[in-house]
Structure 1
Amino acid sequence: MPLSIVTGRIAPFAAAAALALVLAGCTSGGALITKHTQGYEISDSALKQIRVGQSQDLVTLVLGSPQTTNTFGDQSAYYYIQTKVEETAFGMTMIKSRTVLAVYFDKNKKVVDKAVYSLADGKVVAMETRRTSSFGEDRTFIDQILQSF
């Protein structure tokens, strides 16, 4: 076979390999995947310090401010969320694990229970994409501005 045919077949593979090497060199630390934690870092030692009967202020002192709170009637809850994420050098983010620490309080702001939930405890909720038609006129922001003139 002539040399030009062989180089013509190999050229795309060589270009792809060179591009992969250049992109790999652009990453920080040479790793293509970085792992990090988003949100609250739930430690076992802090979790062991939370016991039934403790005050809401003591929980805040030990764990810090909650990421979200909830109130149902006489009970309330603090939620601390930890998400472990892997991110590729190309910008793709993959959630590897999610842990939610829930601390429940009674009406006297004393701990009545705590629970740790994972991704397996979650439920997928299907979002409805249909729109409810309104009796008024559906106009865009630009339409509203132009109509006012």
Structure 2
Amino acid sequence: MGRLGRAVRGAMVGLLALSAAACADIYRNHGYTPTDNELAQISVGRDTRDTVAEIVGRPASSALLQDGAWYYVQSRYRHGGIGAPREIDRQVVAISFDQAGTVANIERFGLEQGRAVVLSRRVTETNIRGVSVIGQLLGNLGNLRAEQLID
């Protein structure tokens, strides 16, 4: 085999390696949720909006109708090949406040099979506020399929 044959074979191996690398999944994170260590620094019934903002920062979204609850949302997407990006994980941390602006509840929600699932909850009273808003945020997004979007 001559030089030309080796060059062609080398080019084909290089092209094959490049095409295999192009199919590798890429993961991207969007948004921010405080870690459990950061949330442990917040005391239910004692901390206020200002102290929460100092500890974990202000959220990108807050509910106006639910006593000013703060929602921190983080999603992880997998981009692979020619298909559309697919959300593989979503977490929502909800910090709700009472009328005086004191922390009343801290909850962490996850997404499992298109349904909102409570992962952890710290509350001082039995009335859990803001669940319906979380359900609306997380409920339908996981149920969409490519076939539904095309129709």
1:123 matches 2:116? no
Cα distance in 1 for partners of 2:33, 2:20 equals: 30
Aligned counterpart, 1:103: 95
Cα distance in 1 for partners of 2:106, 2:48 equals: 13
Cα distance in 2 for partners of 1:59, 1:71 equals: 17
TM-score by length of 1: 0.59
Q: Which runs of 5 or more structure 1 residues have no equivalent in the other structure? A: 1-16, 127-149
Instruction: Read off the aligned partner of 1:32 and give its amino acid letter.
Output: A
Structure 1 residues 104 and 41: alpha-carbon distance in aligned structure 2, compared to 1, 3 A threshold? closer
Aligned counterpart, 1:40: 32
Instruction: Read off the aligned partner of 1:69 and give its amino acid letter.
Output: S
TM superposition shift of 1:89: 4.7
Q: How many residues align?
A: 105
TM superposition shift of 1:48: 1.2
Aligned counterpart, 2:50: 57
TM-score by length of 2: 0.59
Aligned counterpart, 1:144: none
Aligned counterpart, 1:82: 74
> Which residue of the other structure, out of 5, 19, 25, is the alignment partner of 1:23?
19
Kindly provide the CA deviation profile for residues 88-146 of structure 1, in whole angstroms up to 9, marking residues without a partner as x.
Answer: 254631111100000001121110111111123132289xxxxxxxxxxxxxxxxxxxx
Instruction: Read off the aligned partner of 1:36 and give its amino acid letter.
Output: R
Give 1 or 2 for the bigger CA radius of gyration.
1
Aligned counterpart, 1:14: none
Cα distance in 2 for partners of 1:78, 1:41 equals: 11
Instruction: Read off the aligned partner of 2:86 and give its amino acid letter.
Output: M
Cα distance in 1 for partners of 2:83, 2:58 equals: 30
TM superposition shift of 1:18: 8.7
1:72 matches 2:72? no
TM superposition shift of 1:41: 4.1
Work out whether residues 42 and 82 of structure 1, in 8 Å CA contact, stay in contact via their aligned partners in 2.
Answer: no
Cα distance in 2 for partners of 1:81, 1:108 equals: 25
Work out whether residues 33 and 91 of structure 2, in 8 Å CA contact, stay in contact via their aligned partners in 1.
Answer: no
Kindly provide the CA deviation profile for residues 30-72 of structure 1, in whole angstroms up to 9, marking residues without a partner as x.
Answer: x701223211043121121122121101111111120101122
